[in-house]
Structure 1
Amino acid sequence: MELMGMTIALIVLVAVLFMAERAFPAAVERLEENVIAILMALITFISFFQVVGRYGFNSGWQGALEATRILFAWLILFGMAYGIKVGIHLGVDAVIRLFPKPLFKAAAIFGAFATFAYGMLLLYSGWLAFFGADVSSNWRQSGAIGYWTFMFDRGTGLDELRYPEWMQTTFGLQDRVQRWIAYLMLPVGLALLSFRSLQALVEIAQGRKELIVAGHEAEDLVQQNLNTLKD
């Protein structure tokens, strides 16, 4: 049930994001940027205060390292989809730019499709069974959705990240924060990656986007700051 529920929730999330972006593109972009900024700020603050507490007061938060590691994973998983949207992923395009224009476009579309397939494979690899692939004996539990569902069913806690005592007493929570909460960004991030890759594929096919990656960002940066360098 949780497997189906998570799948439906991800579909709804992508559908809402798609509709919101068509109606309020600037607001959605600010939201994504704010999420990335908040994650980076949390990592910075936790690390800073942990250093101050450890070396200044010989104390600190026991779960600080695990918290920053989880937040960094969230930053990567959320940021990879945003990177495709704004075209800031690094890429090598020296060879395909030698191709004739139709072949170049075909290679760009293939790159976007490969990224989409990669995201879907990690998100839910069980769909390969429909093409005859022997993914596993329990293929319905494969991929990020299956892994998250497994953690949700077990309710296993993290190693060091714990709920405050007042939350445990008030809400009857277990001692350690559940792993499924920390791992929630895994299926969400891969769903967003797949959506942005498919979106980029359509944009490339329509001629509104050249590549799914930025292959010559250094050259563009120099051109943008050429006047500054002259001054």
Structure 2
Amino acid sequence: MSHQSGDKPQSAIARFIDALEENIIAGILGAMTLITFFNVVLRYVFNQSFIWGLEVVLILFAWLVLLGISYGFKKNTHLGVDAVTNMLPERGKRIMAILAALACVIYAALLMKGAWDYWAPFAALQPTEGRWFPTGFTENTRDRAFYMTDQVPMLEMFRWLEDAINYGDTYDKLPRVVPYFILPFGCGLILLRVVQATIRIIKGEQLSLIVSHEAEDDVERVAAELNTAGLNKE
């Protein structure tokens, strides 16, 4: 079994960040469930509905996916296929793990560039130049700060965006810059966690970017402990 970052004693800050991420992910999943449940009840019992319900659930799902991907890299819980690499000697496994991790770093960097370039105009910012990797920022790109969501009501806490990016014009609905913020933020977290995991692999603290058979090993270990505890009671 590879040594995970979670096996080491964590600082108070690290534990706080872990708890914060877990609670945010759980909160998003809970909010999606509640909104969907209440919408179903309203529709079939009262012939009413939250008109913004579906759009909010779709937005929350995007946040859930991107935050979950980054957290999975952080905790090394992503699944993968290792049937071929398991046939290699230990040195070969390590080389393949490093190459795979470096490929993921490149992919995550490309993903981050694409995420920024898509989100930036909605924030009245400039996307980057360069087809693959950023070589600077473009000029005179038409901003999309005035774009709004279809049905999500405007929240008062975001009124400051009207003066900051929309030239003082009011928003009738929530501007897209808010829900789309998960693109650069989530992809930035993914890039950070993949780089951190790659460093752990190079240092020998982690075997690969996938959980492999470690989950099975943990299940077998817990089952053995339970069986032992049962025998001791008898």
TM-score (norm 2): 0.74
CA shift at 1:224, angstroms?
A: 4.0
Q: How far apart, in 1, do the equivalents of 2:118 and 2:174 lie? A: 17
Q: Any stretches of 5+ residues in structure 2 without a counterpart?
A: 1-9, 125-143, 163-168
CA shift at 1:112, angstroms?
A: 1.4
Task: Choose the corresponding residue for 1:68, options 35, 54, 57.
Answer: 57
Q: How far apart, in 2, do the equivalents of 1:49 and 1:23 lie? A: 38
| Structure having the higher Rg | 2
Task: Choose the corresponding residue for 2:100, options 103, 111, 124.
Answer: 111
1:95-106 paired onto structure 2 within 5 Å: 95-106=84-95
Range with bigger deviation, 209-218 or 59-68: 209-218
Match of 1:163 in 2: 154
Q: Give the length in aligned residue pairs.
A: 191
Match of 1:182 in 2: 179
Match of 2:15 in 1: 26
Instruction: Summarize the Cα distance change of 1:22–1:201 in structure 2 as closer, same or farther, 3 Å threshold.
Output: farther
CA shift at 1:22, angstroms?
A: 6.3
Q: How far apart, in 1, do the equivalents of 2:216 and 2:95 lie? A: 24
TM-score (norm 1): 0.75
Secondary structure of 2:60's counterpart equals helix
Instruction: Summarize the Cα distance change of 1:36–1:96 in structure 2 as closer, same or farther, 3 Å threshold.
Output: same
Secondary structure of 1:24's counterpart equals helix
Match of 2:46 in 1: 57
Instruction: Summarize the Cα distance change of 1:90–1:175 in structure 2 as closer, same or farther, 3 Å threshold.
Output: same
CA contact (8 A) 1:116 1:193 kept: no
Task: Choose the corresponding residue for 2:72, options 69, 83, 103.
Answer: 83
Q: How far apart, in 2, do the equivalents of 1:81 and 1:164 lie? A: 28
CA shift at 1:175, angstroms?
A: 0.9
Q: Deviations over 1:80-133 (max 9, x none)?
A: 010011111110112112212122111111111111111110111xxxxxxxxx
CA shift at 1:197, angstroms?
A: 0.5
Instruction: Summarize the Cα distance change of 1:40–1:164 in structure 2 as closer, same or farther, 3 Å threshold.
Output: same
Specify the code of the residue in structure 2 equivalent to 1:157. M
1:128-167 paired onto structure 2 within 5 Å: 143-153=114-124, 154-155=144-145, 156-163=147-154
- RMSD over aligned Cα atoms: 2.5
Specify the code of the residue in structure 2 equivalent to 1:150. P
Q: Any stretches of 5+ residues in structure 1 without a counterpart?
A: 1-20, 125-142
Match of 1:41 in 2: 30
Instruction: Summarize the Cα distance change of 1:103–1:144 in structure 2 as closer, same or farther, 3 Å threshold.
Output: same
Q: Deviations over 1:15-53 (max 9, x none)?
A: xxxxxx866221111111111111111111111111111
Instruction: Summarize the Cα distance change of 1:28–1:218 in structure 2 as closer, same or farther, 3 Å threshold.
Output: closer
Q: How far apart, in 2, do the equivalents of 1:121 and 1:39 lie? A: 27
Moved over 6 A (4+): none
Q: Deviations over 1:158-180 (max 9, x none)?
A: 12212269x98xx8741111111
Work out the percentage of aligned pairs sharing the same amino acid: 37
